[in-house]
Amino acid sequence: MRPIIGMTTYVMPASWGVWRDLPTTLIPYDYTAAVTEAGGRVVLLPPDDLDTDVLRMLDGLVVSGGPDIGPELYGAEPGPHTVTHPDRDAAEMPLLRAALDRDLPVLGVCRGMQLLVAASGGTLHQHLPDVLGHERHRVAPGVYSDHDAVFTPGSRIAGLMGADVTINCFHHQGVSDPGTLTVTGRAEDGLPEAVEDPERRFVLGVQWHPEVRRDRRLFGALVGAAAERI
């Protein structure tokens, strides 16, 4: 029996066939394929802020990438470059907190890592060029930039990544304070790129996009942790 992995999604206008600009629940196929290839079964989770009961049927959770999280989630006012989707915030924050309370295995990707930081009492830089003085973490619309990360020896992410430490980034916000999480990976400029909670079964956030490469190291680790619950 394959572990059931819930995955948060967007609601965006989309077009296909004869249909144009219909509000659509969607997620890039690489996300679902990465979980499937790692041995899991995906259930898509549209934004739903009514309850978190779906967690009773899940073995793990992927909090996917997307737009900026609302700065009110970490006690800040929105800056001029911050673009949010409040429907996702309203649905995903309670879902994530409930998953953490249940010790459900969680993988946060890009926005998902940032939401994980906010849920853990941390804060974000809202526009990295203002802090770092460069735009190498988001070089152009729809273009990933490659970096060689440095991982903390003995950490979960170091064990998973091994000798291949190249990561692919597309983000203009980043972690300022990780809260109760532990930073276990950084880019060459020192920006946190991975966070973990070593006290929990499996809680990992990565600022890059492992789904694009269908990285079995990360998604396989999530599915493996989820399988232990079955």
- pLDDT per position as a tens digit, 4-25: 999 999 999 999 999 999 999 9
Q: Which domain holds residue 169?
A: 4-227
Give the per-residue pLDDT at 86. 96
Give me the active site residues, please. 110, 209, 211
Give the per-residue pLDDT at 96. 98
Based on the structure, what is the number of domains in the chain?
1
Give the per-residue pLDDT at 213. 95
Distance, in Å, from the CA atom of 169 to the CA atom of 57, rounded to the nearest integer, reads: 32
Give the per-residue pLDDT at 149. 96
Give the per-residue pLDDT at 132. 86
Q: Is 150 helix (H, G, I), strand (E, B) or coil?
A: strand
Segments in the chain below pLDDT 70: none
Give the per-residue pLDDT at 215. 96
Which residues, 6 or more positions from 61, have their beta carbon under 8 angstroms from its beta carbon? 5, 6, 7, 8, 55, 95, 96, 99, 104, 105, 106, 107
Give the per-residue pLDDT at 138. 85
Q: Is 4 helix (H, G, I), strand (E, B) or coil?
A: strand
Report the amino acid identity of residue 151: F
Distance, in Å, from the CA atom of 143 to the CA atom of 188, rounded to the nearest integer, reads: 19
Distance, in Å, from the CA atom of 134 to the CA atom of 117, rounded to the nearest integer, reads: 23
Distance, in Å, from the CA atom of 135 to the CA atom of 179, rounded to the nearest integer, reads: 25
Kindly report the CATH number assigned to the domain that includes residue 81.
3.40.50.880
Tokens 């073995």 belong to 59
The answer to pTM > 0.85 is yes
Report the amino acid identity of residue 9: T
Which residues, 6 or more positions from 79, have their beta carbon under 8 angstroms from its beta carbon? 71, 126, 127
Give the per-residue pLDDT at 5. 98
